[in-house]
Amino acid sequence: MNSQVGAAQAGAPAVEPVRGSRGRVKTGIVMLNLGGPSTLDAVEPFLLELFADREIIQLPFQRWLGPFIVRRRAPKVRKLYAQIGGGSPILRYTEAQGRGMIERLDRLSPGTAPHGFYVAFRYVQPRSEDALQAMRADGVERAVAFTQYPQFSCATTGSSLNELWRAVDRLKLRDAFVWSILDRWPIHDGFIDAVAETVREGLQGFSPEDRDKVVLLFSAHSLPMRFVNRGDPYPPEIGASVEQVMKRLGYSHPHLLAYQSKVGPVEWLKPGTGWVIEQLATRDHKHVLVIPIAFTSDHIETLSEIDREYSDLAARLGITHFRRAPALNERPAFLDALAGLVRAHLSSGEAHSAAYPLRCAGCVNPACRAIVNPVTAPVGQSQRGA
């Protein structure tokens, strides 16, 4: 059994083992992410899981209303996935990122080698259980829960970590591995370098005489104001990423930040990306480069929402040159960043970031900020964990 077990279970194409052998792994890196449906048949189950996550969505009569909403939404969402090739590419990219990361880690950090990666998606296979079982089979000793969201939110990394710890308990693996977590990296140098590289590539898509006219529109997934108002660290960490990328680019162009992908009737963080595009058009901007800043690989929000929906909107409104910076995906600079992050984390001996134990000011979830069997003193022994 190796790190690909979850993928195989999900019916995704088998991928060659990352290491030459299926031998023992010393350090297992759990790559936490949302996940997405690999096939059209997986769309409805994916949405059902998402709408059942009470750490993110709270509905009255959720067990009935959640599936009701999903059944109404699923055909539309399935159509969007059909338009981008029949499924989400997130597993493929995550596996490529994992392979690139551990190849580098085995070279850079022989003391913690051999390394293995284990994908743990939140709402589709491979899930936390899949990752944990593969890790046990591979003989992992030291485990790192590595969020693939650069900026921390309780709606993303928070939910994934809580689910991981619940899965550890369900599988009775509380003492199986020594854990630490890499819970946020909004201005990590390697990450910022890689994003800046995508922006430069995106700018190359404009003709040289137009390049100076481009407006850089950073777009992050939005968040319900309920999270923002209780102090979720996501908005300031997004702002930090954006500013740092602009600094890395020498502030070469004007830039804006907007938030995309709002769903449902509640208030979300604004301004919305679509609305901002409309406003830019009314002021006769003709050249816009959208930069996804909160996700690290292509997904429905880049391939469909930006590349199709917003692109069509921009064209209709007279924005003649509308482009998107490529996602990080398998970019070597990003693989370097992932390996660099883990390497620095392992050599630091830290169990988590300083910020992690501090729950959101208005946290209403007692499960938050747990960590089982951490590499250093458990959270809760000091006031930091309060």
The site for a copy of itself (CB under 8 A) is made up of 186-187, 212-213, 215, 228-231, 233, 235-240, 242-244, 246-247, 251-258, 270-271, 275-276, 279-280, 283-287, 353-359, 361-363, 382-384, 386
Residue 272 to residues 16, 17, 218, 237, Cα–Cα distance (Å): 41, 42, 11, 18
Q: Toward a copy of itself, which CB reaches closer, 21 or 383?
A: 383
Nearest approach, Cβ of residue 281 and a copy of itself (Å): 11
- The residues with which 28 forms a beta bridge, in sequence order, are 116, 143
Nearest approach, Cβ of residue 41 and a copy of itself (Å): 39
Q: Toward a copy of itself, which CB reaches closer, 174 or 270?
A: 270
Residue 154 to residues 53, 169, 176, 345, Cα–Cα distance (Å): 12, 20, 26, 21
Q: Toward a copy of itself, which CB reaches closer, 25 or 258?
A: 258
Pairing between β-strand 255-260 and β-strand 178-182 as defined by DSSP bridges: unpaired
Nearest approach, Cβ of residue 156 and a copy of itself (Å): 17
Q: Toward a copy of itself, which CB reaches closer, 36 or 235?
A: 235
Specify whether the CB–CB gap between 258 and 301 falls below 8 A. Answer: no
Specify whether the CB–CB gap between 249 and 199 falls below 8 A. Answer: yes
Q: Toward a copy of itself, which CB reaches closer, 68 or 251?
A: 251
Angle, vertex CA 79, rays to CA 76 and CA 85, nearest 5: 150
Q: How far apart are CA 369 and CA 367, in angstroms?
A: 7
Q: How far apart are CA 330 and CA 327, in angstroms?
A: 9
Q: Toward a copy of itself, which CB reaches closer, 254 or 332?
A: 254
Residue 193 in tokens = 């370098």
Nearest approach, Cβ of residue 280 and a copy of itself (Å): 7
Single-letter amino acid, residue 383: Q
Q: Toward a copy of itself, which CB reaches closer, 246 or 375?
A: 246
Specify whether the CB–CB gap between 59 and 85 falls below 8 A. Answer: no
Q: How far apart are CA 206 and CA 224, in angstroms?
A: 34
Residue 382 in tokens = 């000091």
DSSP secondary structure, 260-316, as one string: E---SSS-B-SSBHHHHHHHHHHTT--EEEEEE-S-SS--HIIIIIIIIIIHHHHHH
| Radius of gyration for the chain, computed over Cα atoms and rounded to the nearest angstrom | 21
Put the strands of the sheet holding 215-221 in their side by side order. Answer: 255-260, 215-221, 287-292, 321-324
Q: Toward a copy of itself, which CB reaches closer, 168 or 223?
A: 223
Residue 192 in tokens = 């910022």
Single-letter amino acid, residue 251: Y
Nearest approach, Cβ of residue 143 and a copy of itself (Å): 22
Residue 353 in tokens = 């970031």
Nearest approach, Cβ of residue 354 and a copy of itself (Å): 5
- CA nearest to 140, candidates 149, 148, 131: 131
Nearest approach, Cβ of residue 290 and a copy of itself (Å): 13
Nearest approach, Cβ of residue 363 and a copy of itself (Å): 8
Nearest approach, Cβ of residue 308 and a copy of itself (Å): 21
Q: Toward a copy of itself, which CB reaches closer, 125 or 222?
A: 222
